Amino acid sequence: MNNKGPRDQYLIERYRRFLPVSDDTPVISLAEGSTPLLPAPRLGEQLGLELYFKLEGLNPTGSFKDRGMTLAVSKGIEEGAGAVICASTGNTSASAAAYAGRAGIRCIVIIPEGKITAGKLAQAITHGAEVLSVAGNFDQALNIVRAIVDKYPVQLVNSINPYRLEGQKTGAFEIVDSLGKAPDYLSIPVGNAGNINAYWKGFNEYREAGLLDSLPHMIGFQAAGAAPLVLGHPVDNPETIATAIRIGNPARGDQALDAAAASGGLIEAVTDDEIIAAYQLVASSEGTFCEPASAASLAGVIKKQSEGYFEEGDMVVCVLTGHGLKDPDTAISKGREVTHVAADLDEVVKILAL
Ligand code: F0G
């Protein structure tokens, strides 16, 4: 962490002493991490909370996946991988494609047909991944990928890969580095349940290193139509507008429930309507455009606040996991109407009622 200079832009260099890397590990980086922790004073005041957003959409490929991918691909190269593979609801595939391209290795991504947003698909294709779209959902795609890596020499880069979580735990480090302590609550969307575990690991490691006194309560939110951890059983046909977390059988579900419980937190569900309301609110009142799945974290905080869950003035960090530009279709279909008008000054002025 004293390593100033261009390499300090690489997450692996900044947090080297907490990561499973050696001098022999080739560092494949796109200058990820170091994302802003943006105070949200207007929403915070409305909610009676000290509210912050961790803007993970400002990573190189527009989501938090880059933190894990720099490590998974670097370790893959160190271990001799010539190809990486993942199942994905979109962001993992975009990130894997970018890092594999940077490393000069093959990238295979398996996505659920028709459920990948335009931005994410555009990224995977353009970064050079081989994209297979299966007539099924994420859980089925992941089963196929698991079977492939059991048999063929291809490196898995889903968050089942422990290096993914090692990289993603740095999000927690950055929050503590920035605040000088942990928040009272860390609110985070839950899909395949990797990231909530990664943050919990990060906070715990900082505490063990003497850099943190008290741990945050971890509060995770699934979409109501894809909420296996809330229901207590897998969901065969998960459905939600937040396609990033459209997952019915999370790979790290039990571990996530344990983390939430150990922290004195919870995992609950928010409806698509609550997600979209939060998505539009954060964009219109705090200037922050995140994708729908990311807004589950804020939707959850709004819901819990209305139930009297928090104390006045509690410090809450919502992790906004991916950029709004990933999903332009939802933004446009759910957003305000555009008014069409002739190219005529009088007409324009009349409509604006100026
Ligand atoms: N937010 C976004 C924007 C995501 O893309 C994901 C997961 C999550 C939250 C949930 O994180 O799975 O660690 O609980 N996206 C994966 C993908 C599944 O394939 O891109 P999680």
pLDDT in tens, the chain (354 residues): 444 788 999 999 999 999 999 999 999 999 999 999 999 999 999 999 999 999 999 999 999 999 999 999 999 999 999 999 999 999 999 999 999 999 999 999 999 999 999 999 999 999 999 999 999 999 999 999 999 999 999 999 999 999 999 999 999 999 999 999 999 999 999 999 999 999 999 999 999 999 999 999 999 999 999 999 999 999 999 999 999 999 999 999 999 999 999 999 999 999 999 999 999 999 999 999 999 999 999 999 999 999 999 999 999 999 999 999 999 999 999 999 999 999 999 999 999 998
Pick from 305, 340, 324: nearest CA to 185? 305
Q: What is the pLDDT of residue 126?
A: 98
Strands of the chain (E only): list them.
37-39, 50-55, 83-87, 106-112, 130-134, 155-156, 185-189, 217-223, 266-270, 315-320
The pLDDT of residue 5: 80
Closest Cα to atom 11 of ligand 1:
191
How far apart are the C-alpha atoms of 323 and 317, rounded to whole Å?
Answer: 17
Number of residues written out for the chain: 354
Mutate to test the pocket of ligand 1, among 84, 115, 279, 321 (most ligand atoms within 8 A of CB): 321
Q: What is the pLDDT of residue 1?
A: 47
What's the CA-to-centroid distance between 243 and ligand 1, angstroms?
Answer: 9
Q: How far is the CA of 91 from the centre of ligand 1 (A)?
A: 7
pTM of the prediction?
Answer: 0.97
Rounded Cα–Cα distance for residues 287 and 40 (Å): 10
Is residue 294 in contact with ligand 1, taking CB distance under 6 Å?
yes
Q: How far is the CA of 160 from the centre of ligand 1 (A)?
A: 12
Which residue type, as a one-letter code, is found at position 321?
T
Is residue 90 left, alpha or beta, with left meaning phi > 0 and alpha meaning psi from -120 to 50? Answer: left
Which residues, other chains included, contact 220 with Cβ-Cβ below 8 Å and sequence gap of 6+?
Answer: 187, 188, 189, 190, 193, 196, 229, 256, 260, 265, 266, 267, 268, 300
pLDDT (0 to 100) of residue 6: 86
Phi/psi-derived region of residue 137, left when phi > 0, alpha when psi is between -120 and 50, beta in every other case: beta
For a mutational test of ligand 1's pocket, the pick from 67, 89, 137, 156, i.e. the residue with the most ligand atoms closer than 8 A to its C-beta, is 89
Strands 130-134 and 155-156: unpaired
Using DSSP's 3-state secondary structure scheme, residue 191 falls into coil
Residue 215 Cβ < 6 Å to ligand 1: no
pLDDT at 216: 98
